[in-house]
Amino acid sequence: MTGRARTMKRALLTGNLFDVGTLVGADANSEEQVDALVEQAGVSIERIVSTGQASPPGFWYDSPRAEWVVLLSGAATLEFEGSAEPHPMKRGDHVLIEAHRRHRVAWTSDTEPSVWLAVYCPDVTDGASS
pTM: 0.80
pLDDT in tens, 51-70: 999 999 999 999 999 999 99
Asked if residue 102 is part of any domain, the answer here is yes
Asked if residue 16 is part of any domain, the answer here is no
Question: Is the separation of the CB atoms in 55 and 48 below 8 Å?
Answer: no
Domain carrying residue 109: 26-121
Residues 65, 97: Cα–Cα separation, whole Å: 9
Asked if residue 14 is part of any domain, the answer here is no
Asked if residue 130 is part of any domain, the answer here is no
Asked if residue 12 is part of any domain, the answer here is no
- How far CA 48 is from CA of 16, 39, 109, 110, in Å, comes to 13, 15, 13, 15
pLDDT in tens, 66-108: 999 999 999 999 999 999 999 999 999 999 999 999 999 999 9
Cβ neighbours of 39 (radius 10 Å): 11
Which CATH number belongs to the domain containing residue 92 in this structure? 2.60.120.10
- How many domains does the chain contain in total? 1
Asked if residue 33 is part of any domain, the answer here is yes
